[in-house]
Amino acid sequence: MAREDRYKTTRSAFIASVLSVALTGCGGESTSSIPLTVQPPSPPVNNSTVETPINTEVVVNDVIPTEPAPTPEPEEPNNDAAPEPFLPTPTPTVTTKTTINDTGSTLCASLDETNLACSIAGFPGQDGEYGRDAEAQQTIVKVGGGDAGFDFSKLSSNGSVLSTQEGVWAEDGAEILGSQWPCVLDNTTELVWEVKHSNPSHPRYGLNTFSWYNPNENENGGIAGTPNGGACNTEACDTEGYVDYVNSVALCGFTDWRMPTVNELHSIAHQGKVDFSIDEHYFPNTLGLRYWTTESGAAIPQLAWYVYFSDASVSFTQKDNKTFVRLVRSDSDND
């Protein structure tokens, strides 16, 4: 047999033996689905003929070999991207100062009784058991005074805290005696509030009324309201006119008085009282029930919001209605 024929016979026998092992494994059954690349030994080389080796792929169970997926290159860091925000764990602190008031409710109720001391067995989780109002019964330390969790200080006409805080309002009283005061500081919210007067001829008389009026299109919801539609002792009996008047006389030394928001005015509403739902030791002469806020009705801008100091509720009415006003100011307004 020629040399070349002997090489081809040897190569065929080698390939057949490899196929047999790959397909049967040790136990006589197919054990692999991995394609095998078999390369027989190179044939002898003479000076005239060189046969190229043959690569034979064996595919078991019809599995077609594929190229491995390329390894993705790592992304370059983006040094211009904003860093992730760092949110530190809050550190617990002990303080009596907050930014909002509690409701004023200090009592609890059972199924058939009200105005009971808290807590009531079988009726847990009532308002009077939590917050500043509950703390005021035990541990809270106030800067000034007030019912429940409220913390107020009476101010003089120059904005300083009155030396006498326990006095009761008198129409013929005096600041030095602690029997008159034009403003009150809320030590919790840091808002300063106007105090109404008891004299019917006084411009801040508690029964003076005003229509809602604000010509600023960015604030009035598209409806300015009604100018000079109230009954008062100032030149213009509407909310804008009253704000202008109080700032012109620099009440308590301030000229940044304004109408309160709903949340601000409701923050002094005492939900533990009715008729009137306010601490009258600090806010005497609260003779009216419905007090304007600066906010128009979003859906119906002919209306404006008010706080009802009969039961501390909130609602709205037509801007031309005669309604009471209590102004507010804050140092933060000037920041």
The answer to the question of residue 24 being in a domain is yes
Which residue segment(s) compose the domain that 33 sits in?
A: 3-58
- Does the structure show a pLDDT above 90 at 18? no
Can you give the pLDDT at residue 75? 55
Has residue 30 been placed in a domain?
A: yes
In the predicted model, what is the mean pLDDT of the chain? 79
Evaluate whether 189 touches 101 at the Cβ level (below 8 Å). Answer: yes
Summarised one tens digit per residue, pLDDT across range 119-173 is: 888 899 887 788 776 777 677 889 999 998 999 999 999 999 999 999 999 999 9
Decide if 314 is inside a domain.
no
44: left (phi over 0), alpha (psi -120 to 50) or beta: beta
Quickly state the pLDDT bin for 15 (edges 50, 70, 90): very low
The reply to whether the predicted model has a pTM over 0.85 is no
Residue 82 covered by a domain? no
Give the pair of three-digit tokens for residue 126: 């009532």
Of residues 216 and 88, the one with the higher pLDDT is 216
The full 3-state SS of 257-323, as one line of letters, equals CECCCHHHHHCCCCCCCCCCCCCCCCCCCCCCCEEEEEEECCCCCCEEEEEECCCCEEEEEECCCCE
Structural domain includes residue 36? yes
| Domain-embedded: residue 34 | yes
For residue 325, being part of any structural domain is answered with no
Find the angle CA(256)-CA(262)-CA(264) to the nearest 5 degrees.
Answer: 55
Number of domains in the chain: 1
Please check the confidence at residue 69 and state whether its pLDDT lies above 90.
Answer: no
**79 belongs to a structural domain:** no
User: Tens digit of pLDDT for each residue in 270-304?
Assistant: 988 888 999 999 999 998 899 999 999 999 999 99
Name the more confident of 285 and 18: 285
Tell me the residue length of the chain.
335
- Judged by DSSP in three states, 131 sits in helix
DSSP state for residue 241 in the 8-state scheme = H
Give 228: exposed, middle or buried? Use CB within 10 Å, 0-12, 13-18, 19+. Answer: middle
β-partners of residue 231 are 209
